[in-house]
Amino acid sequence: MPELRKDPIVARWVVVNVEKPYLPQDFNVSPFSWKGATGCSFCTNNEHLTPPEIEAISEVHRAPNTPGWKVRVVPNKFPALKIEGTLDKQAMGIYDMSNGIGAHEVIIDNPDHFKGIPELTDIEVEYILKAYRSRSLDLRRDRRFKYLLIFKNVGVEAGASLEHGHSQLIALPMVPKNVKEEVKGARHYYEYRERCIFCDMLAYEAENGHERIVMENENFVSFCPLSSRFSFETWIVPKQHSIDYAEIDDNRIKDLAKILKETLYRLKKVLGEHPYNYIIHTSPVNTDAHFSYHWHIEIMPKLTRVAGFEWGSGFYLVFTPPEIAANYLKEVK
Amino acid sequence: MPELRKDPIVARWVVVNVEKPYLPQDFNVSPFSWKGATGCSFCTNNEHLTPPEIEAISEVHRAPNTPGWKVRVVPNKFPALKIEGTLDKQAMGIYDMSNGIGAHEVIIDNPDHFKGIPELTDIEVEYILKAYRSRSLDLRRDRRFKYLLIFKNVGVEAGASLEHGHSQLIALPMVPKNVKEEVKGARHYYEYRERCIFCDMLAYEAENGHERIVMENENFVSFCPLSSRFSFETWIVPKQHSIDYAEIDDNRIKDLAKILKETLYRLKKVLGEHPYNYIIHTSPVNTDAHFSYHWHIEIMPKLTRVAGFEWGSGFYLVFTPPEIAANYLKEVK
């Protein structure tokens, strides 16, 4: 009999296949067919192919838009939203409308076309995380923005249109639905229990034999949540309650770089090259504080397709129970 | 500048590309690579390859599990949920759990491996719709079930694992999250305006030049909603307020078969063979009545991939504005 589990934050049920769990090789994941670096606008020496850079991290002195960078942030050439203009929200019959004000930036993770995060050095991953922080701190000074979404798509199946490793930041003029739900769920729990739901999730895992914990260091835990939506879904959560990613200090960035790199490395070892997304879940900006929220990173391997059942219900089918997924990830050397 | 539009039912924002709309040929949709009928357990003469049928529609006298059927309903060989047992919900620390009680049935649309709904006769489509109704009426007699989800996956990209045309019905022991949200949104609107939001959507389209209306007949309208999530998303909505699909009468089934077949035919003509899901959105069962709800069918072509932006925010990027999509669909002969 499969098991139903309810996510305590957003009240989403998932169906966990505890009877005949899929092993990593049971997923029909085909390795990426790399097109290669030719003409890639994110590669070093092709700096002229992107719009002028917004910011870059470099270990050497360099002129903007020239080689020598470690991480480079540029405006998205085909932005989902546009930064120029006054935000104009209005009603249209029964609908609410707005012009498409926002920002859409690309964080080029590193100059090498073929390196993913597991192939970078710890310090190179720190640079990426520092670029996330710095862009988040800069963009929130624009009071039109209410949410700064940082995410990464890897592989065509996960929606990546370019194969050179990169992350994206989209600044939104309203708090998006999914964030509202999570923030609301955390607040409800906090109001009732006077504790943070994310802190309680970590405590629950620690008290229950660390079954779903992949690894931890001084400041972070990486684990497969009991009510994961996706097989091999893994979250990285700061141990100390903290609502806002951008408040992370350099010392914690070191720990986060290590655990992020190592977790992605283990996922790659177990699943082979596979499509995935990761998303930084953090609190809204330029709005009320959300003390009951707790920022974290959700890594979502895309090993199966979302179909009518998921779209129609919001239920998800989990083919590998998180306990078993975590065990695979734990065993990687 | 792109346009942001808010869905008035579930408060979801979408980003509509009104500047450079994608035309049908701009989507990178590859035609299906058909594996063919060999060994297909849904084909006629292979009735012995499925579990024993639950129900069938036939124009001739036939023994169960033999040829001669027009629509055949069988238990799913690999059910997401299982029908035997007592529903057992319990707490586990901060989580809520349940055993996986439910039903998972497959409605085999027709005996021919290669026919989709657009290739069937009107009466053959009516048979499918009648099978939906009859299974829904039967399963709700089981008081453990709170929601009966009927949907269809077509094409690998939309999650179909078998290519022979079929639909699925999953009976769930709790009202799923997405349905709760929609029902709640409709109720809020009703409480405030004392009108149905779906009826108001239809009225809005009629008052605004029928721009997004694809076609209509006496009992149904097919249109591309102003705040669609997907390019070429099309809804079929009964004109008369009605909360429950299963209450549909034979006369309305005739009209629904016609408009469903014709809408899917037009989508296929415009987009070519493409992956899609459709889902019947209807009210929960064995629970409070939901007078403010209005059942309908949502057809969701899967022309692009859902990526980190959508997963992280709940925003959707719409590449073809619904006005333009509807215009393409309207023009098909």
* Rounded-to-integer distance, Cα A326 and Cα A320, Å: 10
Annotated active-site positions of B, please? 166
Is the pLDDT at B333 greater than 90, yes or no? no
Q: Does A123 touch chain B (CB under 8 A)?
A: no
Chain A positions touching B149 (Cβ under 8 A) are 309, 312-313
Q: Which of A99, A306, A315 to probe by mutation at the B interface, max B CB count within 10 Å? A: A315
Q: Does B40 touch chain A (CB under 8 A)?
A: no
Give the model's pLDDT for residue A119: 97
DSSP three-state, residue B150: strand
Contact (CB<8Å) A307/B11: no
Contact (CB<8Å) A1/B158: no
Nearest CA in chain A to B6: A96
Is the pLDDT at B28 greater than 90, yes or no? no
When computed from its CA atoms, the radius of gyration of chain B, rounded to whole angstroms, is 20
Contact (CB<8Å) B80/A2: yes
The shortest C-alpha distance from A61 to chain B (Å) reads 34
- Residue ranges of A 150-169 with Cβ closer than 8 A to chain B: 151-153, 156-160, 168
* Rounded-to-integer distance, Cα A293 and Cα A190, Å: 9
Nearest to B3 among A100, A181, A309 (CB): A100
Q: Does B209 touch chain A (CB under 8 A)?
A: no
Give the model's pLDDT for residue B261: 98
| Residue at token pair 């942030």 | A73
Q: Does A93 touch chain B (CB under 8 A)?
A: yes
Contact (CB<8Å) B98/A3: yes
Is the pLDDT at B324 greater than 90, yes or no? yes
Nearest CA in chain B to A281: B312
Residue A6 sits at φ, ψ, to 5 deg, of -110, 130
* Rounded-to-integer distance, Cα A165 and Cα A118, Å: 11
* Rounded-to-integer distance, Cα A282 and Cα A147, Å: 9
Chain A positions touching B2 (Cβ under 8 A) are 80-82, 99-100
Nearest to B4 among A11, A97, A153 (CB): A97
| B168 neighbors B313 (Cβ within 8 angstroms) | no
Give the model's pLDDT for residue A288: 84
Chain A positions touching B85 (Cβ under 8 A) are 1
Give the model's pLDDT for residue A182: 97
Is the pLDDT at B50 greater than 90, yes or no? yes
* Rounded-to-integer distance, Cα A1 and Cα B177, Å: 22
* Rounded-to-integer distance, Cα B57 and Cα A259, Å: 57
Contact (CB<8Å) B177/A10: yes
Nearest to A277 among B85, B100, B307 (CB): B307
Nearest to A99 among B1, B96, B197 (CB): B1
Q: Does B98 touch chain A (CB under 8 A)?
A: yes
Q: Does B132 touch chain A (CB under 8 A)?
A: no
Residues of chain A short of pLDDT 50, as ranges, are none
Alpha-helix runs per DSSP H in B74-174: 122-139
Domains annotated on chain B, with CATH: 3-331 (3.30.428.10)
Give the model's pLDDT for residue A328: 98
What mean pLDDT, rounded, does chain B reach?
Answer: 96
Nearest CA in chain B to A315: B176
Give the model's pLDDT for residue B226: 97
Catalytic annotation, pick one of A104, A113, A164, A166: A166
A150-189 burial: b if 16+ Cβ within 10 Å, else e: bbbbbbebbbbeebbbbbbbbbbbbbbbbbbbbbebbeeb
Nearest to A314 among B96, B178, B306 (CB): B178
- Kindly state the tokens that stand for B29: 């949709």
Contact (CB<8Å) B94/A197: yes
Q: Does B312 touch chain A (CB under 8 A)?
A: yes
Nearest to B6 among A96, A157, A201 (CB): A96
Is the pLDDT at B289 greater than 80, yes or no? no
Residue B39 backbone class (left: φ over 0; alpha: ψ -120 to 50; beta: rest): left
Q: Does B52 touch chain A (CB under 8 A)?
A: no
